[in-house]
Amino acid sequence: MSRSTVREEVPRTMRASVLLAKGRLRLEERPVPAPAADEVLVRVASVGVCGSDVHYYREGRIGDFVVDSPLVLGHEASGRIVAVGTSVSEDRIGERVAIEPQRPCRTCAQCTAGRYNLCPHMRFYATPPVDGAFQEYVTIQAPFAHPVPDTVSDDVAALLEPLSVGIWACRKAAIAPGSRVLIAGAGPIGVITAQSAKAFGAAEVIVSDPVPARRAMAERYGATTTLDPAADPVAGLDVDAFIDCSGATPAVRAGITAVRGAGTVVLVGMGADDVPLPIPVIQNRELQVTGVFRYTGTWPVAAGLAASGQVDLESLVTGRFDLDHVEDALNADLVPGALKAVVRP
């Protein structure tokens, strides 16, 4: 293989699950990519199915990002380095890694200020037109292939990506020992964010979700209290921070009223493009309202939390599929009790 050093035999071609259009997948044989000078080639071990993958599959778009040409989905990935580019140490061959699935330019104002997640030139896995990881091999810049200890399984290593979302949300919410936080939504990201908040030292983690089974799940994963939004009002809870992981307009509006003066509101879930907010509450309490768009510098913390057992990702996996059954993986959320599906190429 040109421009790389290889210690195990890498085939010329690989299998890839390709989204052709909304609701249409096809298994293709494609050339194995060759790593550029600053990249590594990773044999993919596990890929988590994200809600964005499901949305692209069912709708063919997310906002301004439209699938108008064949696209490989999947951005929550782990694997083993099998080849390196010419500027990467050969010692990295054989490492088990979790992939941070982004490529910022590193030279723009956002990158040089340390906010590379906001890079306007970002190339992100499984975001049109960049292919993702529902295939046997991928390339990534070497610094974004993070080593993981052997105590962390391939599935858990892949799920360091959604854990990074939870960590970033907690950082934005300024969660610290003794904090009180309200989280709306007990899906995978909500549950992971609740665990992250506990790991950050939150004394009270309140999770709101309309589905009883999801509330029970949140309690299993560290929620100190769960609420049914149809029956339990949250106004006046006086929490330090509200993190919305639901994207539901009523949840966002109600959650803001639960925050104490000078508290923080963090919007993680993707919902309606326009949401009417209780402006007097925000103004009179001087609330800080912010969003979450991916993450920056979270993988070392994520790996530490997973390896130490402070965050449980392994038991979140409720379905495992191969490349022949990616469509089943993308529809796994329709199965009662399902939480997280992974694809093992």
Quickly list DSSP for 299-312.
Answer: HHHHHHHHHHTSS-
pTM, 2 dp: 0.95
β-strand partners of 39:
141
Which residue type occupies 248? Answer: A
Q: Which residue has the tokens 């993986």?
A: 329
Q: How would you class 301 by CB atoms within 10 Å of its CB: exposed for 0-12, middle for 13-18, buried for 19 or more?
A: buried
- Give the end-to-end CA distance of the chain in Å, rounded to a whole number: 21
Evaluate the omega torsion of the peptide bond into residue 280 and state whether it is cis, within 30 degrees of 0: no
CA separation for the pair 313, 234 (Å, rounded): 28
- In this structure, what DSSP letter does residue 83 have? E
Give the number of other Cβ atoms within 10 Å of residue 121's Cβ. 12
CA separation for the pair 247, 334 (Å, rounded): 18
CA separation for the pair 136, 30 (Å, rounded): 10
Q: What is the largest CA-CA distance in the chain?
A: 64
Contact status, residue 256 vs residue 241, Cβ threshold 8 Å: no
In this structure, which topology does domain 165-291 adopt according to CATH? Rossmann fold (3.40.50)
State phi, psi for 246 to the nearest 5 degrees: -105, -35
CA separation for the pair 235, 242 (Å, rounded): 11
CA separation for the pair 261, 240 (Å, rounded): 8
- Chain centroid to Cα 330, Å, comes to 15
| CATH topology match: 4-159+313-343 vs 165-291 | no
CA separation for the pair 205, 180 (Å, rounded): 6
Q: What is the pLDDT along the chain (345 residues), one digit of tens a residue?
A: 334 555 778 999 999 999 999 999 999 999 999 999 999 999 999 999 999 999 999 999 988 899 999 999 999 999 999 999 999 999 999 999 999 999 999 999 999 999 999 999 999 999 999 999 999 999 999 999 999 999 999 999 999 999 999 999 999 999 999 999 999 999 999 999 999 999 999 999 999 999 999 999 999 999 999 999 999 999 999 999 999 999 999 999 999 999 999 999 999 998 888 999 999 999 999 999 999 999 999 999 999 999 999 999 999 999 999 999 999 999 999 998 888 999 999
Predicted confidence at residue 318, as pLDDT, reads: 95
What residue ranges do the domains of the chain occupy?
4-159+313-343, 165-291
- The CATH label, of 3.40.50.970, 3.30.930.10, 3.20.20.100, 3.90.180.10, for the domain at 4-159+313-343 is 3.90.180.10
